[in-house]
Each structure stands twice: as structure tokens, then as C-alpha cells.
Structure 1
Amino acid sequence: MLNFNEKLSIIESFPQLDRKDVSLGRVNFQFADSVTEKKNIVYHLHPNGNGFVYGGELAGYETDAKGMVNIRDFSAEELRKIIHESIQSLSPRTTEEAAIAGEAIEEKWINEDGQTLMLIEEDDMWNVYAGLNLDGTFNSYGEAAQYLDEEGFRPLT
């Protein structure tokens, strides 16, 4: 288990986050550019090493009623990964994403290296995009999801 200072060092390496000291020596880190009301990415990081990261928009994490994931026993790699994914899930769409998706149904998928792909429903088909480039077209959501899963991606939202 990482101690408070190790976790703090990892969290502070994300320039998008602003530190907010709170009571009892605890620290929050906020993401000012969040597209939702949710601003706290890291909540109540305690000197004993316990704390929470917002994972309400993420798949694959056990969350509490507020969408928070307990990070007490996270490794350095796991902590970096969930913070990166949390920031991504609350970030505004990029110009590329907005240009491709418009008002269509979309999902972001992410792999362990932090690479993201977009899955978009267009004209009764499901298309996978890497940036502006079309990566694949599928007849159903299930086929597209299977492809993404086989390629090591999982839904971000």
C-alpha cells in the first residue's frame, strides 16, 4: 500500500488537478474543467493513506453511492490509471470527437495505455474511430463491443 506522501506525489503529477486542503489533514483535488457538477477527482485523501477517486462514469470499478472508488490499497500504476480515466470521463469532448459524433450516440473506450477510441452509432451501424480515422464498422453494438474488448479496450463511460 502506498503511503500518503507517495499517493500525494502521484496525484500532484496531474497538472489538470487543483489541490484543496480540507479538515483533519485531508486533501481534495478538483478538476475545474469538468463537464459535470462533479469537480472532486480525489476526495478526502487522508494522512493514513485512505482516500477516494471519482469513478462514477467508469466501468470496472466498485463505487459507493456517490460514485467514489476507495484507493486505500491501490498500487502506483492503479492510482495513475484511475485518475487518468476519471479526468478523461469528466473532460469536455475534443474538437475531433465533436466533429465525428455530433449528436449521435457515442461511447469512449480506453485501453491500459490510456489510448481512447470512440464507438458511435451512425445510420444503423456502429463505427469505431481513432481520432478522425475510421477504425472499423460493425452491424451491431455487440459486434463492435466484442471487437473493442478483444483489442484490450473497455468502456470509459
Structure 2
Amino acid sequence: MLTFEQKLSIIESFPELERKNVSLSRINFHFEGSIYDKKNVVYHLHPNGNGFVYAEFLEGYDLDSKGMVNIRDFTAEELKSIIKLSIESLSPNSTIQSAIIEDNDEERWINTENHTLILVHEDDMWNVYAGLNLDGTFLSYNEAKQYLEEEGFRKR
């Protein structure tokens, strides 16, 4: 198990996170760039080693009712990975994604390996993109949704 100081060092290595000291020697780390109301990435990191990372949009983690994962027994690599994924899940679209989406309606879909596809409503069609690559075109939302679900993706 990592010590409090080791966890703190890893968390502070993410420049996009802002430290907020809270009661009982606990520390929160906010991501001000979040596109959601949710800003806490790390919640109640305590000197005893306990703490939580927000992972509501991530697969493969045991979440509590607030979408948090307890990081008490995480290794350094596991902690770095979940924080990186949490920040990505709360981040606005990349420049590439913005170029694809433009002013169209869009949804992000994610699978258990944290691969993301973007479903975009363009010119009365529903297009699925993997990065810049067009993965599929569908005549209706329901067809696109069925395809994504069959491929193991869920709406984020």
C-alpha cells in the first residue's frame, strides 16, 4: 500500500488538478476544466491512506453510490491510471473531436477497455467515429445505438 505522501506526490504530479484542503486533514483535488458540474477528481485523501477517485464514467471499477472508487490499496500505476482516466472522462472534446462534431448533436460511447467512439447526428444520418475515422453510418439513432451496444459500448 502506498503511503499518504506517495499518493499525494502522484496526485500532485497532475498539473490540471487543484488542491483543496478540507476538514480533518483530508484533501480534495478539483479539475476546474471539467465539462460537468462534478469537479472533484480526488476526494477526501486522508493521512491514513484512504481516499477516493471519481470514476462514474469508467468501466471495471467498484463504484460507490457517488461514482467514487476507494484508492486505499492502489499501486502507483493503478493510481496514475485512474486519475488520468478520470480527468479524461471529465474533459471537453479534443480539437479533433470538435472538428468532427462541429455544431451537430453528439454522444460519447465507451467500452470496458476505455475506448471511446463518438456518435454524431449529421445530415439526417447517424455516424460513428473512432478518432478521425468513420466507423459506421446508420439511418436511425436506434440502429446506431444497437450497433454500439452489440460492440460492447455504453453511453457515457
- 1:119 deviation in Å? 3.4
* Paired position in structure 1 for 2:128: 127
1:13 and 2:6 correspond? no
SS at match of 1:29: strand
| Partner deviation per Cα, 1:97-154 (whole Å, 9 max, x = no partner) | 1231343443254797x8x543325566652322x333x337755655666x6xxxx7
Size of the alignment, in residue pairs? 148
- Identify if the C-alpha distance between structure 1 residues 11 and 96 changes in structure 2 by more than 3 Å, giving closer, same or farther: same
Identity of aligned residues (%): 49
| Partner deviation per Cα, 1:18-73 (whole Å, 9 max, x = no partner) | 01111221111000111111111100000011000011222222211111111111
Mark the runs of 5 or more structure 1 residues left unpaired by the alignment.
Answer: none
- 1:78 deviation in Å? 1.0
Mark the runs of 5 or more structure 2 residues left unpaired by the alignment.
Answer: 139-143
* Contact persistence 1:33–1:91 (CA under 8 A): yes
Superposition TM-score, scaled by structure 2 size: 0.77
* Paired position in structure 1 for 2:141: none
1:137 and 2:136 correspond? yes
Q: CA RMSD in A?
A: 2.7
* Contact persistence 2:125–2:137 (CA under 8 A): no
SS at match of 1:24: coil
- 1:12 deviation in Å? 0.6
* Paired position in structure 2 for 1:40: 40
SS at match of 2:24: helix
Report the Cα distance in structure 2 between the residues aligned to 1:79 and 1:156, rounded to whole angstroms.
25
SS at match of 1:87: helix
Write the letter of the residue equivalent to 2:136: T
Report the Cα distance in structure 2 between the residues aligned to 1:36 and 1:119, rounded to whole angstroms.
18
Write the letter of the residue equivalent to 1:120: L
Write the letter of the residue equivalent to 1:53: V
- Identify if the C-alpha distance between structure 1 residues 4 and 110 changes in structure 2 by more than 3 Å, giving closer, same or farther: farther
* Contact persistence 1:58–1:85 (CA under 8 A): yes
* Paired position in structure 2 for 1:85: 85
* Contact persistence 1:106–1:119 (CA under 8 A): yes
SS at match of 1:137: strand
* Paired position in structure 1 for 2:59: 59
Report the Cα distance in structure 1 between the residues aligned to 2:146 and 2:155, rounded to whole angstroms.
16
Write the letter of the residue equivalent to 1:28: N
Report the Cα distance in structure 2 between the residues aligned to 1:14 and 1:104, rounded to whole angstroms.
31
Report the Cα distance in structure 1 between the residues aligned to 2:147 and 2:127, rounded to whole angstroms.
9
